[in-house]
Amino acid sequence: MRRMNRRLQKWTANLLELPQDVVYDLPRLTMIGDRQLYIENHRGVLHFSSDRLRLALSKGELEVTGEDLVIRTIWTEEVFIEGVIKHIEVR
Amino acid sequence: MKGTWMHWVKGIVTVRARGGELESFVNQALQGGLELWSIRRTSEGQLEFETTIGHFFRLRPYLKRTGCRIHVTDRNGLPFWGLKVRRRIFFGVGLLLFFVGLYLLSSLVWNVQVNGNIRISDEQILKAAEAEGIHQLQWSFKLDDPAVLSKRIAARLPDASWVGVEKKGTSIVINIVESTKPDQGPLLSPRHLIATDDAVITEIQADTGRPVVKRNMRVKKGDILISGWLGDETNMQTVVAKGKVRGIVWHEYDIVSPLTEKVKVYTGLSTTKWHVVAGGRALQVSGFGKTPYSEYEVVQREEQLTWHGIKLPFGRMKESVLEVRLDERTLTKEEAVTKGIQQAKADLMTKAGSDAVIVAEKLLHEKTDNGKVYLKVLLEVEQSIVTEMPIVSTQGE
């Protein structure tokens, strides 16, 4: 039943050309150069230091590495990071 | 998001947290609906963030749960300002008084200006403005709308055709446009118009006053023609009677006209004197000596030099001296009569005015005696017969 549901979801998403992040609850990242990063749909901070930020996702986690990272603003599902961003990895 | 002005009003606290599980503290605080921003790691591994005062006091349960310790490093915003001001109460009061004073002084009317008046005096206008509340040191918020004020001031100044009130900062400018008035004639005292002579009215036009006589009526000298009294005995008003009354007047003339007439006759003898004229001065150059005639006339003729149509200030003058002789001429009786009547008419016209018209003339009596003609003439003249008589108040006020 659950599989059927997921298939139906995928089929409708394809049919209606819905963005994947809405349908599958995936994170959406907006990056401005290497200095600002806006992440929607995270599930909390796992680790935060000035050179590394790890965020929990609905599935897996996101790791941002860089220098002088600062969480400008944070809400329960969104986070806005400033600093020199060097590397983003989704695991 | 750096602290917005809303955060500033609420009061921003910068907090440093150490120990325990800092990440889960942040996650839980966010779950609990707290607002944290500008989260950064310090070099010693502490977490620094900013929050509002209200949220700061709600941090405590999350700190206990995660075992973190905090201390405040910086305070910013209105509530903290308030505290500072409370510490320096006189400074705060002074600041407030300054703004209040500035507002009050700028809402006073400091100066009232009047423009555009010539006949109406400044004092008169300022008095009217004063009655509407415009004066120095008046609160400007007490005054009505300028349009209303200008209407009311105009109502108080009958000689002004337009009044504009303008508020320029702390001064009020009153602009006046005066009404133009026709020139007033000389003041006249109340009067009647009366007849100068015995006459028969031919025409009467009363501009002011009540006409008493009609056309073809006989009037005597001194009769009232146009009365200066209006109304009846109970409601009487005296006015300056004005108008035009013409009538036929009879003038009787006794004329004595001589039968001889003296006439000037040129004898034909003359001498000439020449003068040189230069710039308005004449210098005699010929014809010197005494004039040889007992009766003579002098005729002058001046000629000026011109050059290409331009008059030069030089010229010559010819002075002719002509001998005359007085002859006596005998007139016929008819000639003497016409001459006499002509003289009488000329005399009459000067007396009766230029608009007088001679309607008829009648020769009543004619006698020739001692080389003279004696005439009695009756002239019928249509002329203006009005003269003024001032009304003297008879009610003895």
B159, B177 Cβ separation under 8 angstroms: no
Cβ of B37 and A49 within 8 Å? Answer: no
Number of domains in chain B: 5
Q: So where are chain A's domains?
A: 26-90
β-pairing verdict for B191-195 and A52-56: unpaired
* B383 and B334 housed in the same domain: yes
Please give the angle made by the CA atoms of B306, B310 and B314, to the nearest 5 degrees. Answer: 45
Strand partners, A84: A67
Residue type for position B83: L
How far is A3 from chain B, CA to nearest CA, in Å? Answer: 31
Residues of chain B with pLDDT under 50: 1, 396-397
Q: Which residues of chain B are within 8 Å of residue A71 when distances are taken between CB atoms?
A: 37-40, 49
For residue B113, CA distances in Å to B129, B131, B177 come to 11, 16, 14
pLDDT digits (tens, 9 = 90+) for A41-61: 888 888 888 888 999 988 889
β-pairing verdict for B171-178 and B111-115: parallel
Q: Which CATH number applies to A26-90? A: 2.60.40.2000
Cβ of B26 and A46 within 8 Å? Answer: no
What SS3 class is residue B395? coil
Residue of B nearest to A45 (CA): B23
The pair phi, psi for residue B239, each rounded to 5°, is: -130, 170
Q: Does A18 touch chain B (CB under 8 A)?
A: no
Q: Does A67 touch chain B (CB under 8 A)?
A: no
Residue of B nearest to A73 (CA): B37
Cβ of B38 and A76 within 8 Å? Answer: no
Structural domain containing residue B132? 111-178
How far is A65 from chain B, CA to nearest CA, in Å? Answer: 14
Please give the pLDDT value at position B88. 85
* B357 and B319 housed in the same domain: no
* B338 and B314 housed in the same domain: no
Q: Among B327, B350, B368, identify where a domain stops.
A: B327
* B309 and B335 housed in the same domain: no
Q: How many CA atoms lie within 13 A of B305 on its CB side?
A: 10
Q: CATH number for the domain including B134?
A: 3.10.20.310
Please give the pLDDT value at position B41. 85
Strand partners, A1: none
How far apart CA B255 and CA B367 sit, in angstroms, is: 11
How far apart CA B133 and CA B152 sit, in angstroms, is: 11
Please give the pLDDT value at position B391. 83
On whether ipTM exceeds 0.85, the answer is: no
Find the radius of gyration of the CA atoms of chain A: 15
Please give the pLDDT value at position B1. 47
Please give the pLDDT value at position A85. 93
Residue of B nearest to A71 (CA): B39
Residue of A nearest to B49 (CA): A71
* B9 and B78 housed in the same domain: yes
Spatial CB neighbours of A36, under 8 Å, sequence gap ≥ 6: A80, A81, A82
pLDDT digits (tens, 9 = 90+) for A67-86: 989 998 888 888 999 999 99
DSSP character string of B50-103? EEEHHHHHT-HHHHHHHT-EEEEEEEESHHHHHHHHHHTHHHHHHHHHHHHHHH
Stronger pLDDT, A19 or B169, i.e. the higher one: B169
Q: Among B327, B361, B376, identify where a domain stops.
A: B327
CA-wise closest residue to B281 among B320, B316, B321: B316
Please give the pLDDT value at position B285. 85
Domain annotation covers residue B185: no
Please give the pLDDT value at position B397. 45
Please give the pLDDT value at position B3. 59
How far apart CA B244 and CA B252 sit, in angstroms, is: 25
Q: Which residues of chain A are within 8 Å of residue B22 when distances are taken between CB atoms?
A: 48
